[in-house]
Structure 1
Amino acid sequence: MRADRLVKLVLLLRRHGRLSATTLAGELEVSTRTVLRDIEALSAAGVPVYAERGRHGGFALLPGFRTELTGLSHDEALALLVAGSRRGAQAFGLGSALASAMLKVVDALPESYRDTAAGAAERLLIDPETDLLSRRLVAEETPDAVTAAVLRAVFAGHKLRIHYAAVNQSTKWRTVDPIGLVTVRDRGYLLATRSGEDRTYRLSRILAAEVLAEPAQRPDRVDLDRAWQERGTRFRTGGDQVTVLARVDPRRREDLVGTALAVLTEETGQDGRLRLEVTFQDRRHAEWALWQLGAYAEALAPQWLRTTLHDRATAIAARYEASR
């Protein structure tokens, strides 16, 4: 790990020219004392790094210094392969590897391309932390040790023992055969089998994981896209799902459809509003989806949903009526 950090330190100095110990510590995710020790190690190894004193001082390399530092590690190469989604790399615990790999890629570019690429990159922002309404987009977090163990089991093809917290169930250990990993809207999922049956586990609900020595029982090749689609179909057609008939303002159609599991039927009424038959995961999901649309939508069926929404609206109206 220290060797990788030293390479990254040199690449940072190559890229930026001069950086303070504090800035380097932040980029490398270590203490300033560790940075100073790394600088001493580089100097002892013959890397021409020197300190500039003063208010705007820091560490820099002698002009013209260049060495072969651009070989990608396994994790860095893997991070680049999933770099189409920066959040995907984060979900699989490859965020730091991606940053390190991109430094090496930039360093390997011809000098004439390097400045152009850097300028272009400044004009692209992918997946910011908040949307236009300043709502923070919070990604689910998985302990690094868990992510590392899951990745090892998936790539090595070994059985995996996980301590899993399923919804509305007691937390318990399970031994699974890992198939692959999928990330969807900042959520990471482990596709696996258990006792020969397909299983899907959310990474953020895995509290601990152990890679076992026993080989996993799984096919040599896998079509993850197809496997994900098949599991999605089974999820949408099973469990405690409910079907709702709703009348919706066309301007809010996407808000409803975007939260539903599936749209079964859709037609436009004489009043210009849409009549949609949609399915939701359960009663709570259906109530939330219709409630958030307020007067822009009306649940026509089932009756229990109309009653639930009516009672909630009545209670809120009474609360605010009392304060007028």
Structure 2
Amino acid sequence: MRASRLVNLLLLLQNRGRMTARQLAEELEVSARTVYRDVEALAAAGIPLYGEAGHAGGYRLVDGYRTRLTGLTADEAQAAFLAALPGTAAELGLGEALATAQLKLRAALPAELREHAGRIQERFLLDAPGWYGDADETPHLAAVAAAVWGRRAVVLRYRRWRAPEEIERRVEPYGLVLKAGRWYLVAGGPSGTRTYRVDQIIELGEQREEFAVPGGFGLAAYWQGYLADFRARLHTGEALVRLTPEGARRLGVAPAEGGWTRARVPIESVDHAHGEFLRLGAEVEVLEPAELRDRIAGTVRALAARYDG
């Protein structure tokens, strides 16, 4: 356990530069006292690192020092190759860089681990987009990624669903998220941090001014909060329904024994629920709200009349 932590501490300093004992302790999920002991152990082992005192102090490696990529387990080597998405890298203009990086990683691995990594690429393929619908066209993705990487503000002309349908806004790109095959830009702007679909960007103008990401901002934490808020806003209503055993199974409701199951289920809106419940056909009867029941009954009568004809 400690050996793994020492390697992680070394790699953190190598990848991030100067870090305080408190920052290292948070990353490694240990106490600052443990970090002090680990730093002493690394120094005693000949690792050229040193500490700087003061407000801007911390630990860092001697300039130019790099550790070799050794010590990977079979699972770690497999995960490194499994995590690589060739299609995604190509969209970001990094397809060639990914291929080169994988070659270098493979060359640095012992023969046994090279074999494990090769089997991963032969037997597993990650394809992020969903089945239905063509992939979104994102002609501005590479430019957005460059702005994110360079921490440079951009002016985007953007298409949205509410009026005004086209807006122009200066934003500071914090990060990119790929969700179910669709790219989203997380950026700061006049109204705070917002999320933009990259395929809805009509035009992108780069500005040369650099910006700093607000302290405490984390892309993963923001995205989790965004998803939680989206789900909370998504289901704002409720419907009372009767379900057959098959209908209960398809809606993920615990079925009652020996017959129909009454359940209250969240709905986004009457319009949305109308289409969703029609998919279940005779496996569901909507009891409430009355507006939704009447809508479905009207649709069923229209269908019956059409097929009777």
User: TM-score over 0.5 for the alignment?
Assistant: yes
**Aligned residue in 1 for 2:242:** 247
- Partner of 1:123 in structure 2? 123
Among candidates 222, 230, 235, match of residue 217 of structure 2: 222
Aligned-pair distance for 1:227?
1.1
Is this contact kept in 2: 1:153–1:159, CA < 8 A?
yes
The match for 2:147 among 153, 165, 169 is 153
Q: Which residue of 2 aligns with 1:29?
A: none
Q: Given residue 189 of structure 1, which amino acid in structure 2 is its aligned partner?
A: Y
The 10-residue stretch of structure 1 (208-217 or 82-91) with the greater mean CA deviation from structure 2:
82-91
The counterpart of 1:275, out of the listed 258, 263, 269, is 263
Tell me, in whole angstroms, the C-alpha distance in 1 between the residues paired with 2:263 and 2:241.
6
In 1, are the aligned partners of 2:247 and 2:280 still within 8 Å (CA)? yes
1:309 paired residue number:
296
Report the Cα distance in structure 1 between the residues aligned to 2:308 and 2:82, rounded to whole angstroms: 53
| Matched residue SS, 1:142 | coil
SS in 1 for 2:287: strand
- TM-score normalised by structure 2 residue count: 0.59
Amino acid at match of 1:154: V
For residues 140-163 of structure 1, give each alpha carbon's deviation from its aligned partner in whole angstroms, at most 9, with x where no partner exists. Answer: 2311xx112211222222222112
The alpha-carbon deviation at position 288 of structure 1 amounts to 2.3
**What is the alpha-carbon distance in structure 1 between the residues aligned to residue 162 and residue 138 of structure 2?**
20
Report what 1:287 is aligned to: 274
Residues 1:159 and 1:245: Cα distance change in structure 2 (over 3 Å): farther
Counterpart residue identity of residue 156, structure 1: G
- Report the CA distance between 1:108 and its aligned residue: 5.0
Runs of 4+ in 1 over 6 A off after TM superposition: 80-83
Gaps of 5+ in 1: 1-79, 258-265
Distance 2:84 2:296 in 1: 38
Which of the numbers 153, 157, 167 marks the counterpart of 2:161?
Answer: 167
Q: Alignment length, in residue pairs? A: 228
Matched residue SS, 1:219: coil
Q: Secondary structure at the match of 2:123?
A: coil
The offset of 1:201, in angstroms, is 0.8
SS in 1 for 2:124: coil
- C-alpha RMSD over aligned residues: 3.6
Distance of 2:127 and 2:288 partners within structure 1:
38
Structure 2 alignment gaps of length 5 or more: 1-78
2:171 corresponds in structure 1 to 176
Query: Alignment partner of 2:160: what SS?
Result: coil
Deviates more, 1:186-195 or 1:235-244: 235-244
2:240–2:262 contact (8 Å) kept in structure 1: no
Relative distance call for 1:256 and 1:206 in structure 2 (3 A) is: farther
Taking a change above 3 Å as real, the CA distance of residues 137 and 231 of structure 1, as seen in their structure-2 partners, is same
Q: Does the C-alpha gap of structure 1 residues 221 and 300 become closer, same or farther in structure 2, counting only changes over 3 Å?
A: same
2:138 maps to what in 1?
142
**Distance between the aligned counterparts of 2:235 and 2:129, measured in 1?**
34
- The answer as to whether partners of 2:177 and 2:186 remain within 8 angstroms in 1 is yes
Q: How does 1:22-101 map to 2 (within 5 A)?
A: 84=83, 86=85, 89=88, 93-94=92-93, 96=95, 97-101=97-101
CA displacement 1:85-127 (0-9 Å, x = unmatched): 7388259625624345434444555566545643453222333
TM-superposed CA distance for 1:278, in Å, is 0.6
Q: For the Cα contact (< 8 Å) 2:81–2:121, is it kept in 1?
A: no
CA distance in 2, matches of 1:184, 1:242: 26
| DSSP-derived class of the 1:122 partner | helix
The TM-score, its normalising length taken from structure 1, stands at 0.57
Q: Deviations over 1:40-82 (max 9, x none)?
A: xxxxxxxxxxxxxxxxxxxxxxxxxxxxxxxxxxxxxxxx989
For 1:320, the equivalent position in structure 2 comes to 307
Contact 2:153-2:170 at 8 Å conserved across structures: yes
Kept after mapping to 2: 8 A contact 1:86/1:95: no
Q: 1:197 to 1:116 in 2, by over 3 A?
A: closer
